[in-house]
Amino acid sequence: MKNIILLFIFLFSITANSLTIIVNKSNPINSISISSLRNIYLMSVNNWINREKIQIIDYKTSNDNRKNFCKIYLNGLSPYRESKYWIKAALGGQNSPPLIMDSEQEAIDYVARNSAAIAYINSKNTKIEKVKILKIE
């Protein structure tokens, strides 16, 4: 049993480290807590500290990065349920759903051009010089 728990912790840490959170280089923050990231993606926080409205970038529900992000940072919420959450919030007038990108490169390019954007990409992606990587606290 102890070995199974250790294996689970090891696999979780590998998966958690497989995603990188990115923002525009002009964004004033350099790090973000997991709870703040969750609050942004679940619409509890809508503005950056400079009061600029956050523009959330996401991927299609079938995207592996999105599945990992939901599992790690949204307490296991499935991508499908996350989409339903956003639709319900948008219909209630609370906020707009995130922009859905087809690829990591499209997300990187969008974040590089938009000062209020936030996205996540696979940590193995090396074409990120145009954006800022946030440290996860």
Burial 82-94 (b: 16+ CB within 10 A, else e): bbebbeeeeeeee
Average pLDDT rounded to a whole number, residues 32-44: 92
Structural domain span for residue 32: 2-136
Tell me, what CATH number does 28's domain have?
3.40.190.10
pLDDT band at 118 (very low <50, low <70, confident <90, very high): very high
Q: Name the residue with higher pLDDT: 12 or 57.
A: 57
Into how many domains does the chain fold? 1
Q: What local confidence, expressed as pLDDT, does residue 131 receive?
A: 96
Q: Which of 27, 26, 44 lies closest to 35, judged by CA? A: 44
